[in-house]
Amino acid sequence: MSKKNQTVTRREFMQRSIVASASVGSSLAAGIAVASPPKDADFLTIDPWTKTQRQNFPNPDYGIPSSYEKLVTRLKYANGSRTPLQKLHGIITPSGLHFERHHGGIPEINPDLHRLVIHGLVDEPMIFTMDDIVRLPAVSQIHFLECSGNTFAELKKRTWATVQETHGLLSCCEWTGVRLSTLLDRCGVKPDARWVLAEGADSAVMTRSIPIDKAMNDVIVAYSQNGEMLRPEQGYPLRLFIPGFEGNMSVKWLRRLKLGTEPWQTREETSAYTDLGADGKALQFTFVMGVKSVITSPSAVMKLSKPGFYEISGIAWTGSGKIRRVEVSVDGGKSWEDAILEGPIMDRCLTRFRLPWQWNGDSATILSRATDSTGDVQPTLESVIKARSSNSYYHNNAIQPWLVASNGEVSNAR
């Protein structure tokens, strides 16, 4: 690694930024000019938008982003959409940019007619209306949600370009609702109950089996996301939210919960969401999402405008507690440096990391590697394939490399 192509401390970064002025406050997006000293002739010129009285609210009924942010959108595909991680800041995903996955279309449900049935191995089967549920004690928790098929294509070959395409089946929001344990306690759980079947009201009738210990611990029956009622594609009016588990288990449009002694072996836990081994046998119920991170800036298909100072930034997450450490390499993994973790660092939540970097214009491969509170370390792709075989499809939490070419163009280096 060149001596100048290296990471620097935050203090050094700020000091050099002040001295270097325009060359430091760089943009990562191609075509956006960096800051430059004002010219005497136009320094105090009044901008045209300052001279015109405009309407108070472009949309008085529901706030919308600026027209200049119209490219910050979800990427649609056949059965869902992906979050634009490379264009987001902090850790919270706006509701309108949360990724979406469905199996049979998005139902239009009248909340006044919707019901949640709880039956099976309970003392008293019950039917809850939305009014019943909303009146119960509520909790609000910030957690990530990730599809177990996120980054699946990268297990085979470099398929996608942007971080939205490779990692976009991931979002993080505040979820509000009633603890599932509150509802189950009202029904009375029989001693021999070991599993809960969750069923959705969509046309695919999405169903998954959930261990009773998890159900009684931290699972939420959610009706709100980021302070407002759920969006239709997020399960309106009611969904499960299971912190740390693969996203398909947080069943949307929730209509039924049944308690039993064994898992139900539904379509979604037999023909799908299993890990096929080299011997042809499938491993079921790999619920927890592994420790993972990705650099979102710079990432493909961004372009560094010129050599100088940049801040490498990204997100890390784990289904097993909190992120404790993120290391960044700018030389393809030959050496690593601890990134700065930006608080708050919360349980099963995205954590933003940052590392100042001085790029000298040489080609560089940048990567990130996360460690969680259990001591688990994000693996290499080779380690993931070795542990799960080349047949693996789900739960790819491998390190993602980006190549910064000498002309500043960034690409997927998988």
Per-residue pLDDT for the chain (414 aa), expressed as one digit of tens each? 444 456 566 556 555 444 433 333 333 433 333 456 666 666 678 888 778 877 777 777 898 898 899 999 999 988 999 999 999 999 999 999 999 999 999 999 999 999 999 999 999 999 999 999 999 999 999 999 999 999 987 877 666 689 999 999 999 999 999 999 999 999 999 999 999 999 999 999 999 999 999 999 999 999 999 999 999 999 999 999 999 999 999 999 999 999 999 999 999 999 889 988 888 888 999 999 999 999 999 999 999 999 999 999 999 999 999 999 999 999 999 999 999 999 999 999 999 999 999 999 999 999 999 999 999 999 999 999 888 887 888 999 999 999 999 999 999 998
Predicted pLDDT of residue 156 = 72
Separation CA 137–CA 127 (nearest Å)? 17
pLDDT of residue 261: 98
pLDDT reported for residue 329: 98
Task: Indicate yes or no: pTM above 0.95.
Answer: no
Q: Return the pLDDT at 7.
A: 59
Cα–Cα distance measured from residue 302 to residue 294, given in angstroms and rounded to the nearest whole number: 15
pLDDT at 15: 54
State the DSSP code for 356.
E
CA angle 133, 137, 142 (to 5 degrees): 95
Q: Write b or e for each residue in 228-245: b if 16 or more Cβ atoms lie within 10 A of its Cβ, otherwise e.
A: ebbeebbbbbbbbbbbbb
* Confidence at residue 231, expressed as pLDDT on a 0 to 100 scale: 97
Structural domains in the chain plus CATH codes: 97-159+171-273 (3.90.420.10), 292-412 (2.60.40.650)
DSSP per-residue string spanning 141-170: EEEEEE-TTTTGGGGTS----SHHHHH-SE
3-state secondary structure 38-54: CCCCCCCCCCHHHCCCC
Helices vs strands, H then E, count in the chain: 6, 25
Contact 157, 391 (CB under 8 A): no
